[in-house]
């Protein structure tokens, strides 16, 4: 089976996660896919294939080298697709891209255009896997799953390629922030691992945001407006006042690169009660802590005027994995060498987001992120250049071999 055929088969499975569910995995489709994947890995001849009650799949490719000092490395991808758009009845197709617009769905007038997505121009002359415009594609991260499984199949059928012990894992619920919740790092047993969950060809990511979520609740006093003077406290207006205390230059729409932000993700409000939900991000730990203190100060200022009307519930979500990965620089050097051996130029830049690798790094498994090749994740305009998917697989193969040198 070619890697393209494998991806197309995976894409047909509905594995969309559900942030409102309390189970793990959060949807039955993920467990069905995990069961199918488990049987596939056994059929390929991998060892120690397992599926636990939470939907984590693990397996081992035994070493074929006589060296005893080769570290065990791992590769990880997630099985779920984003709740942002339907992943049911995905109808992928392959187009030979010659430039210009790609009509995804003629009857609905849905077009993938380089006028909106200029990166398409980089892929003229290549085969692209696209949607029919009514669902996402699922390259995030079934491209990563396909690349890992295909690389293991290649190494099993090409014993002349020397490699150490390789561990692989496929996780549920990454898209809703739970992919690392019950990951057994000790059982995985690796010196380090790589999530294969990046996008563009060549992405090598080992630096991400420090992240926190904050919920501000403001309680007002609702009085009939005809007799409200001096007595009414409008919680919604206080919420607007608090938001105005945060620096307007530190929002997602005004920042880039390593610049952090406050992002208001949800707001509800009446006169009686209002609620603001923020995510806070910064690559620099000190600036991250300063941003959290800025929000605390805004809450204090509101409470100085209106005592005890404003409460803050803030929790850290994850941290910049570079703090951990800098202690194992060989993981990055091996990845660079593997990409170059595959004819790929590494693109090293900070992630303006987070990955399971960030949480796993702080759980004791240093885990940079490698490209899987997909573009425009989480929506109807998602596409996957076939050569990029192939290069992802080749990078994994070279990585397994380079570590033995």
Binding region for Zn(2+): 78, 140, 175, 197, 378
**392, containing H or E segment:** helix 386-402
Contact 180, 186 (CB under 8 A): no
- How many angstroms separate the CA atoms of 396 and 144, rounded? 10
Please, what is the end-to-end C-alpha distance for the chain in angstroms? 30
Answer yes or no: 174 catalytic.
Answer: yes
Q: Which of 351, 214, 347 is nearest to 282 (CA)?
A: 351
Among residues 14, 132, 174, 205, the one annotated as catalytic is 174
Phi-psi region of 126 (alpha: psi -120 to 50; beta: other; left: phi over 0): beta
Q: Which of 289, 381, 398, 386 is nearest to 335 (CA)?
A: 398
- Residues paired with residue 247 on neighbouring β-strands, in sequence order: none
Query: DSSP of 23-81, one letter per residue?
Result: SSSSSHHHHHHHHHHHHHHHHHT-EEEEE-TTS-EEEEE----S-S-PPPEEEEEE--B
Among residues 14, 40, 80, 205, the one annotated as catalytic is 80
Contact 210, 319 (CB under 8 A): yes
Three-class SS state of 176: helix
- How many angstroms separate the CA atoms of 322 and 326, rounded? 6
Annotated binding site: 78, 140, 175, 197, 378
Q: Cite the beta strand spans of 199-287 per DSSP E.
A: 203-205, 210-219, 261-269, 273-282
- How many angstroms separate the CA atoms of 138 and 79, rounded? 9
**96, containing H or E segment:** strand 93-96
- For 349, counting Cβ atoms within 10 Å of its Cβ (0-12 exposed, 13-18 middle, 19+ buried), the class is middle
Give the chain's radius of gyration (CA, Å): 24
Q: Which of 211, 219, 213, 214 is nearest to 312 (CA)?
A: 214
Answer yes or no: 273 catalytic.
Answer: no
Kindly list the catalytic residues.
80, 174
């Amino acid at each position: 089976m070619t890697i393209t055929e494998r991806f197309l088969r995976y894409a047909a499975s509905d594995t969309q996660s559900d942030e409102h569910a309390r189970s793990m995995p959060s949807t039955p489709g993920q467990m069905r896919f995990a069961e199918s994947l488990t049987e596939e890995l056994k059929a390929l001849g991998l060892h120690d294939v397992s599926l636990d009650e939470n939907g984590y799949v693990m397996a081992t490719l035994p070493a074929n080298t006589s060296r005893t000092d080769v570290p065990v490395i791992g590769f990880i991808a997630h099985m779920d697709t984003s709740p942002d758009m339907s992943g049911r009845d995905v109808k992928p197709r392959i187009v030979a891209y010659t430039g210009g617009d790609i009509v995804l769905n003629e009857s609905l007038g849905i077009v993938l255009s380089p006028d909106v997505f200029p990166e398409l121009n980089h892929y003229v002359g290549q085969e692209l896997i696209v949607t029919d415009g009514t669902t996402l594609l699922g390259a995030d991260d079934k491209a990563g799953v396909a690349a890992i499984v295909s690389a293991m199949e290649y190494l099993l059928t090409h014993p002349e390629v020397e490699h150490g012990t390789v561990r692989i894992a496929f996780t549920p619920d990454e898209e809703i922030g739970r992919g690392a919740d019950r990951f057994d790092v000790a059982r995985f047993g690796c010196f380090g691992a790589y999530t294969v969950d990046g996008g563009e060809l060549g992405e090598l990511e080992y630096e991400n945001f420090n992240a926190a979520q904050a919920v501000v609740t403001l309680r007002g006093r609702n009085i009939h407006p005809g007799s409200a003077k001096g007595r009414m406290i409008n919680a919604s207006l206080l919420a607007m006042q608090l938001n105005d205390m945060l620096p307007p230059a530190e929002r997602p729409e005004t920042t880039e690169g390593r610049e952090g932000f406050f992002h208001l993700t949800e707001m509800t409000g009446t006169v009686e009660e209002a609620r603001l939900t923020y995510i806070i991000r910064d690559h620099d730990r000190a600036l991250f802590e300063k941003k959290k203190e800025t929000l605390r100060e805004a809450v204090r200022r509101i409470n100085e005027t209106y005592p005890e009307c404003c409460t803050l519930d803030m929790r850290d979500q994850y941290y910049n994995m570079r703090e951990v990965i800098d202690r194992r620089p060989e993981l990055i050097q091996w990845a660079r060498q593997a990409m170059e051996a595959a004819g790929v130029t590494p693109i090293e830049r900070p992630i303006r987001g987070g990955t399971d690798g960030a949480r796993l790094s702080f759980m004791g498994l240093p885990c940079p992120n490698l490209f899987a090749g997909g573009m425009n994740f989480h929506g109807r305009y998602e596409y996957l250049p076939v050569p990029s998917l192939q290069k992802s697989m080749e990078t994994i193969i070279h990585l397994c071999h380079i570590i033995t040198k």
